[in-house]
């Protein structure tokens, strides 16, 4: 997957791609331990993990 948008670094895009793949395989779990079924939730988890690793990701809104 090439860069999602200019806002996100390539590392962040790779992380999101990986989490979506895990979700499709049924391996992605949320913080509470439940299986993730929403693509939006998988993207949010991927961005959060990328942020923790120091990738260029905009700050959370809200």
- Is 17 within a domain? yes
Asked whether residue 3 is assigned to any structural domain, the reply reads no
- Asked if residues 16 and 46 have their Cβ atoms less than 8 Å apart, the reply is yes
When divided into structural domains, the chain yields a total of 1
Q: Does residue 60 sit within a domain?
A: no
18-62 pLDDT, tens digit per residue, is 999 999 999 999 999 999 999 999 999 999 999 999 988 888 776
Distance of CA 61 to CAs 1, 12, 29, 56, 58, Å? 24, 17, 23, 15, 9
For residue 46, being part of any structural domain is answered with yes
pLDDT in tens, 5-14: 567 889 999 9
- Please, what sign has the CA dihedral across residues 38, 8, 49, 24? positive
Output the pLDDT for position 4: 46
Q: Is residue 61 part of a domain?
A: no
Question: Which range marks the domain in which residue 18 is found?
Answer: 10-26+33-52
Q: In sequence order, what are the residues at sequence separation of 6 or more whose Cβ sits closer than 8 angstroms to the Cβ of residue 30?
A: 36, 41, 45
In-domain check, residue 4: no
pLDDT of residue 6: 62
Establish if 62 belongs to a structural domain.
Answer: no
């Amino acid at each position: 997957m090439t860069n999602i948008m200019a806002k996100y670094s390539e590392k962040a895009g790779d992380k999101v791609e990986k989490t979506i793949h895990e979700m499709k395989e049924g391996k992605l779990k949320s913080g509470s331990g439940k299986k993730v079924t929403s693509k939006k939730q998988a993207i949010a988890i991927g961005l959060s993990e990328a942020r923790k690793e120091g990738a260029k990701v905009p700050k959370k809104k809200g």
